[in-house]
Structure 1
Amino acid sequence: MATWLLACNQDMFELDKFREDGQTLRSWSVGRYLKELTTGDQFVMWVTGPRGGLVGRGRVTGAPTKQAGSPVEYWQEDPGDRWYAPLVMEEWCEQPIPRQRFKEDARFQEKSPLATLFAANPHRVTAGQWTAFEEAFVNGPAEDAGPSWHLEPGQTIKRKALHDRYGGSRQGGISKCAKSANVLLFTDPKTGHQHGYFDTWAEDGTFHYTGDGQRGPQTFDTLGNSSTRDHVSLGLSLRLFEGSRGIVRYVGEFAVDPEEPYSWGEAPETGGGPLRTVIRFHLVPVGRTTQPPSVPVGCGYRVADESVEPAPAQPGLTNIELATRNLTAHRKLQNDLAAAARIGGLDVFSPGVADPDFDLGWRLTDDDLTVCEVKSLTRANETRQLRVGIGQLLDYQDRLADRANSVRAVLWVEREPTEARWLALCERVGITLAWPGREDDVFARV
C-alpha cells in the first residue's frame, strides 16, 4: 500500500466552497503515477497558498479513469477531460495545519512532497513523512499561518497599511513578511532605475525582476534574494506590486520559473555607480492577474537592444549563430516598426508590469488599442513562429478586453509567409498579419 499527497490550488478549484455547499468529495484530478495508484492507498489532502496546509486524509478506492471535471461550477475554468482517482475522505481538519509545522522536521528534509507542489498530483509520501502527517492530525495546528490574503489584482493600498497587515520591511524592493507566508515584491521604474533595478517583461514571457542589493555584486546571502529563490520550498507566495512608496497597486501572485528561476546580468550601482553583477529573477504569473478597467495599459516605449546575444549556456540552445540571428532580427523588426508608428503620429508603448507581455502597441484613439507581436521567420521555423504568435495575440486580446473600447491584434513578421493560408487564417480570428512594406495595413484607423 502506497501513501500520497494530493494538492489543491483554490485558484483553480474552490475546495472550501465545495465543502461549505455540503458536497462530498469522491474523486481527485491526477496527472502521473496512474498505474501505481491502487485501491487502499492512503493520501493526505493539502491546500496550497499562505492560508493553506494539511486539510484532510482518506483512501483511494479504485484505478484512475479519464472523465470530465465535475461539478464544473467549482472550477475557475472548465478543466475538460482529465484523469481522476476515485477516493473517500475519512477525516477533515477543523482548520488547515500549516506548512510551518513540517518545515524543520527532519523527515521532510529530503524528497519532500511539499517542495514539488507545483507539479501534477499525486506526490509521493515516505513512511516517515506519513507518520509526521498522522502526528499532526492528533496534535492539531502548531501555529497561526497569519492573515489571509485580501487583495485582488488591480487593487491599490497604502504600503504602510500593507505591511501593518502582512508584515515585512517598509523599505526596499523585496520584503519577506514575518506575519504571513508572503514575500512582497515592489517594482517602480521611477525610483528603481537610479539603483540599477531594470525590471521588464522578457521575450520568453517571464517578468525579469532585479534582486535585492544596491551596491556591490548581488548574492543569495540576503534574506530577500534567498526567500524569493526558495519561495516554493519555504511555502511562501510571491506578491508583485507596482510602485514602491505611498499608494501601491497589486499586480498579482507570481512564482519563479521552475525551469530557469533566475539569470545573472549587469547593472550600475545606486546613483549611477560602476557596473556590478545582479540577479534577475524569472517570474511567471500564478492564477488570475487580469487587471480591472481602471488600470491603464502600457508605458513609454523601451527600445529593444539589438546588440544583445543569447548566452551559450541557455538550456536547449544548440545553434548559437542562428539564435543570435533570430533575436537580432526580432529586435530590429520591433524597433523599426515602433519608429514608423511614431513617424505616423501614433503613441507607441511597451507593456507595463500589469500588462500581458506583447512586444509593442499603439493607440489609434484614447480608447482603442493595438497590440503587436513580432516574429522573425526562417523557412525552418515559419510554421512554429506563426502558430505561437497567433496564440499569444488571442491571449493578449482576451486579457485586455475590459481595459479598452477595442483591442486590435497585429502579427508583424520578417517577410511574407511561404503559404498564403496564414493570411486567411489570421483574418478569420481577427488578427492583422503584415510585414515590412505593409505598414499602412497596421497603422490604418479602422
Structure 2
Amino acid sequence: MSAFGGGPQGGIVTSATTPNILIYSDHETGHRYGYYDGWLAEEDEKGPIFEYTGAGRIGDQTFTGRTGTGNKAILQHVDDGRALRVFIAAGKVPGSGAKYQRYVGEFALDADLPYIIRQVPDDNGNLRKAIVFRLRPAGAVGREEQDDIPPAEKTRATLVPADVTASTMVEPENNKKTKGKRSAQPGTETERREAALSDDFQAFLKSRGHQVKRFQIKIEGLTSTLVTDLYDVTDHVLYEAKGSATRKDVRMAIGQLLDYRRHVTPAEPQLAILLPSKPDLDLRELLHKEGIALVYRGSGEFVGRILPE
C-alpha cells in the first residue's frame, strides 16, 4: 500500500503523493449488512466486472458533500489521471484494530456503465440508495474464489422506490472535457428521451394518486441484479419505457417485460410499453396479439387504454 501512497486505512483514499486512488473492500462488513463487493460470476463481452459499493454508511450515497468525496474521486479518476488500486481485507493484525490488506490489482471504471444504483441497508439497517461502481481490470489482477459475489440462493423480486436509478443521481460537474469522462447519465438523445418520458409518466401516475415503484430482482444461481422500469402498484401494471417507437426498441421492450413478469409478486401483472410516440400499425398489432398494452405520448398528453382517469 505504501508503494501507492497509502496506508492501512479503509474506504476510499486519494493518495497525496502518487496518482492513485486506493479502494479498500471488506467482505465481512458488507456481508453483515446484506450486500457484497466482489467479482460478478457473469462476464460480458468486455470481460470480468468487480462491483464495489461506494462510501457513505448512513442514508443515501452521493457524489457531493463530505461523504461523497471518495465517490466523486472514483467517478472522475480517468480525467484526474489516477489509477484505481483495489485492496481486500485479509484478517486482523494481532493486538490492534487494523486489518491486513491483500492487493488485488489496478482497475478502471467501466466506460459505458460506470455505476448502478441499488437499494441496500445502511449501518442502521435502513434501506437506502447505494452507488455500486463497476470496475474493470486494467491489467493482471489477483482473482481469488473467495472474492466472488455469492449467487442468489433463490429468485426474489423486491419493490424499491422508483428513483432507484442512475438517471436520478446528481453527478459532479467536470470542467475537463476529455474522452475519458465516465458517466451513468443518459448520454444519447434516445436515452435522454427515455429518461424524460419515464420521469414524466411517473409524475402523471402520482398526480392521479397512484403508488409507483420498481422491482429489484435477484435470480437464483446468478450474482447480477435486474431492475425494472416503472411498476404501478395501484393498478398492478409493469411498464417498460423506450426512447423511440422503432421496431428494435419495441421488440426489446417485449422481451424485457416477458422476462421480468416471471419473477415479480403479485404474479401476472398487466404488461405495458411506454413510448414517446405512436408506433406503426404492424407493431401495434404485435402488442395486441401478445396481450401487452401500449401507452405513448401524443399531442402533449399520454394516450392509452389502461391509463387512470
What is the TM-score normalised by the length of structure 1? Answer: 0.36
**Larger relative helix fraction:** 1
With the length of structure 2 as denominator, give the TM-score of the two structures. Answer: 0.48
